[in-house]
Structure 1
Amino acid sequence: MNPLTFLNRTLAAAAVALTMTAADLSAQTTFSSTMSVDEGADADAGAITMSLDSCRAMAVANNKKLRISSEQVRAAGYQRKEAFAAYLPSLDFAGGYMYNQKKISIFDSDQLLPVKSFDLQSQSYQFNLVKNPITGEVIKGPDGTPIPSDVALIPKEAMEFDTHNVFFGAVTLTQPIFMGGKILAMNKLTEYAEEAQKALRDNTAQDVVYAVDAAYWQVVSLRAKQKLAVSYVALLDTLRHDVGCMLEQGVATKADLLSVEVKLNEANVDLTRVNNGVVLSRMALAQLCGLPVNTPIEPADSEPGLSADNLAPVATDYNMADVYARRNDLRALGYAVKAGDQQSKVALSSMLPNLALIGAYEFSNPNMFNGFKKRFAGQFSVGAMLTIPIWHWGGNYNKYRAAKSQALVRRLQLEDAREMVDLQVKQSAFRAREALKTRIMTESNIAKADENLRQARLAFREGMMTPEQVMEAQTAWLKAGSENVDAAIDVMLCDTYLSKVLGTLNY
């Protein structure tokens, strides 16, 4: 992946991470009632007991998205090494073969060249020319050129060269000296890209941990509600038996018995739904842990969290500078900002001179280094190449200005993300405090519902309450228990999500 292209992906991934909420992650543990009770019963056989930490570790080890992020970190590391290689000299080889239809001939026909002889009188070489034997004048041809008396014959074939098959090649060594700062900027850019990818990988790990926590506590919650549903069915079954006895004794009506039986049937339907929910929630947890979906997982926690009296209070104020430093998504955006600055330097380098040293060894067959010979021969050459941009109609300058604008956009995105994180922290802390308050109230309601049910059963036995009033007390008891379970789970998930928002979630 090109390091410049990576910046846009980093920004997109970090933005998605910032907008992820607890509701988004909790949606992974939303279930529907599509399985039968028999399937739920079969899932209990040979269940594997796993703690929350075990589920987290297994999910982090097997999660496909996390493995993809790890590979992206590895790829970013390779890109960083690729950018560093630009500092070092590059060695290249280029070679080729060419077939030519014709030979090369310097002359189009045989050549007759005049020759000279040494003249003692003039003490120099003079052309041998045809002279009139009487007058001694040089005889000239029709074109006015003197006619030589002696010539040297150069046949046309002597100056023909066989170039039908030509082999050539070169080994080139290039050492960059100054490339306008592009190499240094690309090295820093790829370094920031690798660090940003690591931050995104860590952020993905936190998302996985939170999703596992939500699925794990969902199973615990449904297990607790399953026990409540079983107890509720048992209470109604006992009430049906008592009302049946009263009907035989004539102190109850058939309508009383039917109303209890209708309530009992509804409770059995609810129990079936809870059983199905347990099976489906186990599937979701197994999938997050990287196990086959039919693996029966039994949470090691039988109760959904600690008592409200043992829970630590939620802080009302946080050091946001520390939060910003711990948030992996903000770190990724911070590295993207730094990479954007380097990207503008890369654009600036296109307007600066480039200087490089070049050394080469070229060879060919045939060669002309010592006459025409059909064999390999070559030579060394050393030089320098300087490129100075002069005029490109503002193209390079506008490219630089666009890169500067993009860098400013990333800074603004980082500032906006910090404001969003500030809002997340405040909302998460508020929700955690409210969840704790709700847990305290539901625990108080549990004690009152238990006492209300006990009093109702005693009054029913004494004939002071009707079956409908007893069922109302039982329904209130079930509702109080269910709300207490939901409040306990909400406390656990709010605490985990708050840790995630604060950047302190261990993974």
Structure 2
Amino acid sequence: MKLKRLLVSISIVIISTCFSMAQVTAPSLIGRAGGESFTLEQLKDSALQNNIAMRKGRLQVAAAKEQRKEAFTKYFPSISGTGMTFRANKEMAEMTIDPQEMLTPEMKAVLGELAPMMAQILPPEVLAGLGSPMTMAMMKKGTIAGVNAVQPVFAGGQIILGNKLARLGEDVSHLQLQLSEKDVEAQVEHNYWQLVSMQQKLRTLDSVDKMLGSIQHDVETAVKAGVALGNDLLQVQLRQNDIASQRLKLNNGQALVKMLLAQLCGLSVTPEIMIPDMSNDISQELAPLALRRGAGGEAIEAPLSYLPEYQLLEKSVEAAKLQRKMEVAKNLPTLAVGAGYNYHNLLENDRHFGMVFAALNVPITDWWGGAHAIRRKRFEEQTAREQLIDNAQQLQIRVQSTSNDVAEAQSQLALAQKSVEQATENLRIQRNTYRAGTSTMSDLLQAQLLLQQAQDQKTDAFVALQNARLAYRQATGVNE
């Protein structure tokens, strides 16, 4: 019995040493040796530069900028040149002239009086052909060319509205880029804290594994000496198998999260991503998030107008309003003036000439369908306004919800810390009772398991608090 108590005392000392060393001698970086260490801010910066969604967003901003510049060109004259040359299989214009049909009775009487004189002057064949029909043909081939400039004077406001819509589109692309930034940062931070959680749980497993290894050695010695039962050794080995199973799951999950982080940040998947050890941050009590609250305890958020989500809703209302006006403009008269210089040789001679012109287009029957289109756009505008009101209320609810989540997560972390302290005390008591022979190995291993679970719950509570803070910052646009 004395030998058994001596072995138990040695085991207790080793257990205490292992837990103390786990709290003090933590490695400075987590990950395989030789890898590169990334802080959270470094990962965010890399993601904002290299993430595919960010690259697409920047391209969309550039495209919207070019569209705005394209719309601006509609204020200036449209200059175009045309040219055509042709050759037909026969003349395009042909006409027959009958002199007899063109002569009046008086003219015929005069020609009759002049006939003897003309017979003396003209040959007989020419004189005979004067009264016969004649055929004329032209434009079998030719060339046409011209340059024209058209300046819109009034287009119902379509050009002005088109430019406003283009500028609005550019603003929307910038806001969408801001939303992409928020989304990418949120994904990176969420995966980062998930990886931190796995790393810390692996560290806890390392401490437990060392403790179990020490207990196993002592129990094996006691079994050989005949002062302990083989069942105690089997319980330790089963616990070691459970630890190995947990380690395998965590390692696989860790590898997957690292691949996700590498993909989000545009990094190579092959290199190891190591994250600085967060043990001290988890062990220390975090400063509460400065939540702004009203007299009734409700969260006070930053003005919604600062949020890109709300600004996008406002832009959608503005776009619907401009589209309604554009529909009205399509049914108004349009006026344009222009000038041109043209050339053709259709009549076998080169002809050059300039001209100025004005064109007026007044839609008449288009107002029938246009009136329905205008009413449809008016309903769409009202729908956008209703959507703005509804989503603004949802944004305010999200602020209150995330504020509550932060407060709850802070309380959960405090409870988890208390659980760790209680589990530590419970393990100390079990050590003493096992030393006195009043408890079993099962009781001691159960106390160790409870401490491990409490430490894991504290890690989960810490990560949950970080995610709650992130959600609050995303909902309010407030930076801590």
> CA–CA distance in 2 between the matches of 1:343 and 1:62?
36
Indicate if the aligned counterparts of 1:220 and 1:299 stay in contact, CA closer than 8 A.
yes
Per-residue Cα deviation, 1:361-383 (whole angstroms, up to 9, x for no partner):
222233xxxxx3344x3211112
- Residue number among 100, 109, 113 corresponding to 1:130 in the alignment: 113
User: In 2, Cα distance between the equivalents of 1:400 and 1:113?
Assistant: 61
Inter-partner Cα distance in structure 2 for 1:96 and 1:305: 80
Structure-to-structure mapping, 1:222-237, within 5 angstroms: 222-237=198-213
Q: May I ask how many residue pairs the two structures share in their alignment? A: 433
What is the deviation of 1:107?
4.9
Residue 87 of structure 2 corresponds to which residue in structure 1? 99
Deviation at 1:459, TM superposition (A): 3.2
Q: 1:446 to 1:224 in 2, by over 3 A?
A: same
Kindly indicate whether the alpha-carbon contact (under 8 Å) linking 2:144 and 2:344 is maintained by their aligned counterparts in 1: yes
How much has 1:154 moved relative to structure 2? 10
Provide the rounded CA distance (Å) in 2 between the counterparts of 1:293 and 1:60.
17
Aligned with residue 356 of structure 1, among 329, 333, 336: 336
Residue 453 (structure 2) pairs with residue 479 (structure 1): yes
Paired residue for 2:255?
A: 279
Which residue of structure 2 lines up, in the alignment, with residue 26 of structure 1?
none
AA at the equivalent of 1:210: A
State the distance in 2 between where 1:384 and 1:96 align: 24
CA deviations over 1:292-339 (Å, ceiling 9, x no partner)? 22221111243384533533354444445x341122122112112101
Q: Distance in 2 between matches of 1:384 and 1:92?
A: 16
What is the deviation of 1:79?
1.3
Report what 1:411 is aligned to: 385
* SS in structure 2 at match of 1:488: helix
Q: SS of the residue aligned with 1:310?
A: coil
CA deviation after TM superposition for structure 1 residue 347, in Å: 0.3
Deviation at 1:450, TM superposition (A): 2.2
1:328 correspondence with 2:281: no
Give 2:14's aligned residue.
Answer: none
Q: Residue 202 of structure 2 contacts residue 247 of structure 2 at CA under 8 Å; is this kept in 1?
A: yes
Cα separation, 2, equivalents of 1:465 and 1:242: 17
1:155 CA displacement: 10
Task: Note if contact 2:331-2:366 (Cα within 8 Å) is conserved in structure 1.
Answer: no
Distance in 2, matches of 1:304 and 1:204, equals: 32
Structure 2 gaps of 5+ residues are 1-30, 104-108, 117-125
1:447 aligns to 2:412 (yes or no): no
Q: Return closer, same or farther for 1:448/1:337 CA change in 2, 3 Å cut-off.
A: same
In 2, are the aligned partners of 1:94 and 1:170 still within 8 Å (CA)? yes
Answer 1 or 2: which has greater helix percent: 2
Alpha-carbon shift at residue 474 of structure 1 (Å): 0.4
Letter in 1 for 2:86: M
Structure 1 equivalent of residue 77 of structure 2 = 89
Which residue of 150, 159, 170 corresponds with 2:146? 170
Question: Could you tell me how far 1:111 is from its partner in structure 2?
Answer: 6.0
Does structure 1 retain, via aligned residues, the 8 Å contact 2:96–2:136? no
Q: CA deviation at 1:454?
A: 2.9
TM-score, scaled to structure 1 = 0.79
- Give the Cα–Cα distance (whole angstroms) in 2 for the partners of residues 347 and 107 of structure 1: 50
Residue in 2 that maps onto 1:497: 471
Residues 345-404 of structure 1: CA distance to partner in whole angstroms, max 9, x if unpaired? 1100122221111212222233xxxxx3344x3211112111222233620111111111
Give yes or no for contact 1:361–1:378 (8 Å, CA) kept in 2: yes
- Answer with 341-350 or 271-280: which moved more: 271-280
Which of the residues 439, 442, 460 maps onto 2:434? 460
CA separation of 1:131 and 1:437: change in aligned 2, threshold 3 A: closer
SS in 1 for 2:86: strand
1:386 to 2:366 alignment: no
Cα separation, 2, equivalents of 1:79 and 1:328: 22
Percent identical among aligned pairs is 27
Note if contact 1:305-1:489 (Cα within 8 Å) is conserved in structure 2.
no
Q: Out of 406, 410, 414, which is 1:436 matched to?
A: 410
Mapped pair 1:252 → 2:228 = yes
One-letter amino acid of the counterpart of residue 275, structure 1: N
CA displacement at 1:446 relative to structure 2 = 1.8
Matching of residue 206 in structure 1 with residue 182 in structure 2: yes
RMSD, matched Cα: 2.9
Segments of structure 1 that go 5 or more residues without pairing to the other structure are 1-42, 116-125, 134-148, 367-371
2:61 maps to what in 1? Answer: 73
Pair 1:308-2:288 in alignment: no
1:130-149 superposed matches below 5 A = 130=113
Distance 1:351 1:110, change over 3 A: closer
What is the SS of the residue equivalent to 2:431? helix
Q: 1:56/1:451 Cα in 2 relative to 1: closer, same or farther (>3 Å)? A: same
SS at the partner of 1:44? coil
